[in-house]
Amino acid sequence: MAASSRSSRPLPKLLSPSHLVPLDLSTSWCCTPHALGGHATSTHSHSHPSSPARSAAADSMDPPTGGSSSSSSSTYATPPPPSYAPSSYPSSYTKFNSALNAGLLNPMSPPPLPLDKTRSSPTLFDMMANEQDYHPRTAAGGGGGIHSIPAPQQPPPPPHHHHQLQPARSMDRQMLLQDRIADLIGSCSPGNQFNDADSSDVRLTLSSKDGLSVTLCVHRHILVAHSRFFAAKLSDRWSKQQRTLPHIVEISDCDDVEVYAETLRLMYCKDLRRRLMREDVNKVLGILKVSAAIVFDAGVLSCLEYLEAAPWAEDDDEKVAALLTQLHLENSGAGEVLKRVSLELAPSAVVEEAEVDGSCSGGGNAGGGEEVLLRLLQVVLEGKDEKARREMKGLVSKMLRENSTSRGGAIGGDLRKESLYSACNGCLSLLRDQFVRAAGGDQSEVSQIARQADNLHWMLDILVERQIAEEFLRTWAMQAELAEMHRKVPAIHRYEVSRVTARLFVGVGKGQILVSKEARCQLLSTWLEPFYEDFGWMRRACKGLDRHLIEDGLANTILTLPLATQQDILLAWFNRFLNSGEDCPNIQRGFEVWWRRAFWKRNSEPEQPPRLRITAICENS
C-alpha cells in the first residue's frame, strides 16, 4: 500500500540544472553544475534536439521502488533500464566515438568538427579535451546536487601563530639540550664526581642567549683549583659569606651551553689529552675558547697540543687562525699551531709536550687474567701456521677489545700498556736481527722479516685502538739503522715492513696518534724513502690494501707539519711521482692544499669571530 501511494503521488519537475543527465546509460553518469547567472538554462533543447527519450528522462524520472523508501526526497533518480540498440545511444556519445575513430584510429582522416562552445552543460568529450579548465567537483551540503567550486586558497597564518609556536620550539630545544647533557654526564667513567649532587657544594646554571639553560652540580674546590676566573669569583671570603649550601652561581649569555659543560667536565679528568682525542676540531676550538675565557690553563694547553698534532680539514685553517689570533695565546704555544698555515710567523720557543701517562693504575688485575692474555699474545706472535695465526689474531683482538670495554674503558683492561710494549719490543728486536743477517748475505731465514713485520703491524693496530700508540711511533721513527739496511734486503721480503709505516701514516692522518712535531718530522725523515720504494710491491702483493686510505693518511701527515717542511716534502714527491707513476703514492690532494695555503691565503684577513662575554651571578640559597 505504501508503495502504491508513493507511485501515485505526482513528482515535481526537476527545473534546477543540477539534476543528473545520463551520458552512457550502461557505464556512467555526467553531473552538470548549477547555472551561476541567476536563471536556469536548459541542457537539452540546444544540444540534443533529436533525443526525445533523453528529454523525457530529464523532465520526469520514476522514483525508486521497493525497500528504499527513505530516499524519496533525494534528487538522484533511478535511470531507466539501459538499452543497447544503436538508436538509444545519446548524441554526445556518438560524437565522441566518431571523433575518437577519426582522430586516433585513422590518422589520415580530417579532425572532427569543432564542438559548440556555447553549451552550458559540457559533454564528456568537452571535459576530456579541456580538463585543465575544470576544477574538482565537491558535493553540496544536503540538497543532493554537486557543485564545482574551486577550493579557496588558505590565507597565511596570522602573526600570533608564530608566537604560539615559539614556546613549543624552545621546549623542544631545551629537551634536546637536556638529552645531550645527560649523554655527556653518562659517558663519565665510574667514580667521576662531575654533577654529583650528593658531594657538590655549588649549583652552577649555564644559560644561553636564546633562553636555554642547564644546571650542574659541581665542586668549589675543583673550580678554584683549575680556573683563575672561578678562583677570583668563588674565593674563600665569598664562600664564608654564603649562609647555606649549595652556593648558587649562574653564567649567562653562553654561546654554547654544551661546550661550557664539556669544558667543566674536563676539570674532573686526569687525562685531558686522551679525552680530547674523541672530539673533532670544531668542538676543540669551542673548548679552547671557553678555557681561555675562564683562564683554565690546563684546558688551553691540552687544546693547543691537540690542534698542533691533529690533522685539519682545509676549511678549518681560517677558523683556527682566527681564534688563536683573537685569544692572543702566543705564550701558551699558539705560535707552533699557526706555523702550519703561515710562513710569516717569527720563530718562537717550542712548547715542550707534557708527557701524560696512559696507563691506568686503579682497578687493574695484575694476576691470572693478565698472565693468560699475555701468554695467548705470545703464542700468536710465535705461531708458524699462517692460516691459524690469522684466525687467532682475530680471536685475541676480539677478546682484548671486549675485555677493555667491560672494564669501563680503562686502557688495556687486564693487559697493561707495559705488557703490550714489551711484546712490541721483542718483535722489533727479532726484526732488527733478521735485517742484519739478510743484509750480510745470510738468506736462510729471510722469511722471518715478513713474519715479524706482520706481528708489529698487528700489535700497532691494538695500540691504536687503545689510544696508546704514541710511544710506538717515537720508537719506530728512531730506527735509522734499520731504515738504512732496508734497501739491502730484496723487496719481496721487506715490503711488509713498509706496511707498519703506512699504518702509522694512517693513524696520524686520522688523528688516532697525536705526537709532537719533532716526532712526525723524524718519522717522515726516516721512513718516507723506504716507503716510496716499497709502495709498488705493497700495491701488487697485499690483498685488500686500501691504497686511497694510505695516500690520504700520508697527505694529512705531511699537512700537519710547518708550511716550509710541507713544501720540501711535496716538491720532492712531485718529481718522484712524475718518474714512477703507479709505483708512487698519489698525494695530489695534499699538494693542492699546500699550494693554496702557501700562495692563495697568505694575504687574506680571517674573519674575526664575536667576542666571548661571561658574567657570573652569585646568590644566596
pLDDT, residue 612, reads 59
pLDDT score, position 420: 93
Dihedral, CA of residue 71, residue 72, residue 74 and residue 80, to nearest 10: 90
Higher pLDDT, 31 or 329: 329
Q: How far apart are alpha carbons 465 and 503 in whole angstroms?
A: 12
Top-confidence range, 149-158, 328-337, 542-551, 595-604: 542-551
Q: At 282, is the pLDDT very low, low, confident or very high (cuts 50, 70, 90)?
A: very high
Name 14's Cβ contacts closer than 8 Å, sequence gap at least 6: 58, 59, 61, 75, 77
Q: Residues with Cβ < 8 Å from 420, sequence gap 6 or more?
A: 412, 459, 462, 463, 466, 468
> Does position 50 have pLDDT exceeding 70, yes or no?
no
Is 449 within 8 Å of 438 (Cβ atoms)?
Answer: yes
The tens digit of pLDDT for each residue in 106-141 reads: 545 455 555 444 545 556 556 555 555 544 444 333
CA distance 143 to 19: 11
If pLDDT is split at 50, 70 and 90, which confidence band does 77 have?
very low
pLDDT greater than 50 at residue 71? no
CATH topology of domain 170-261: Potassium Channel Kv1.1; Chain A (3.30.710)
pLDDT of residue 360: 39
Which pLDDT band holds residue 5 (cuts at 50, 70, 90)? very low
Domain ranges of the chain: 170-261, 271-341, 373-397+414-550
For the CA atoms of 318, 320, 323, 328, the dihedral, rounded to the nearest 10 degrees, stands at -120
Give burial (CB, 10 Å; 0-12/13-18/19+) of 6: middle
Are 47 and 119 spatial neighbours (Cβ–Cβ below 8 Å)?
A: yes
**Which amino acid makes up residue 542?**
C
Cell of 182: 645527560
Show the cell assigned to 465.
Answer: 685502538
Mean pLDDT of 395-415: 69
- Judged by average pLDDT, the poorest of 127-136, 153-162, 231-240 is 153-162
Q: How far apart are the first and last CA of the chain?
A: 91
The x, y and z cell numbers of residue 48, run together, are 540534443
pLDDT grade, residue 195 (50/70/90)? confident
Identify whether the C-beta of residue 79 lies closer than 8 Å to the C-beta of residue 61.
Answer: yes
What is the tens place of the pLDDT at every residue in 459-480? Answer: 999 999 999 999 999 999 999 9
144: which residues sit within 8 A by CB, 6+ positions away? 18, 74, 75, 76
Alpha helices in 383-446 (DSSP H): 386-406, 417-439
Q: Which of 34, 79, 27, 84 lies closest to 54, judged by CA?
A: 79
Cα distance between residue 310 and residue 343, in whole Å: 19
Overall average pLDDT of the 511-534 stretch: 95
Q: What is the pLDDT of residue 284?
A: 93
3-state secondary structure of 18: coil
- For residues 483 and 526, the answer to whether their CB atoms sit within 8 Å is yes
Give me the chain's average pLDDT, please. Answer: 73
Per-residue pLDDT band at 451 (split at 50, 70, 90): very high
Look at residue 100 and tell me whether its pLDDT is greater than 80.
no
Distance between CA atoms of residues 588 and 7, nearest Å: 94
Residue 371 CA, chain-centre distance (Å), reads 42
The secondary structure of 537-597 as a DSSP string is HHHHHSTT--HHHHHHHHHHHHHTS-HHHHHHHHHHHHHHHHHHGGGS---HHHHHHHHHH
Q: What is the pTM of this model?
A: 0.61
- Rounded Cα–Cα distance for residues 86 and 462 (Å): 90
Give the cell for residue 272.
685531558
For 171-185, the DSSP string reads HHHHHHHHHHHHHHH
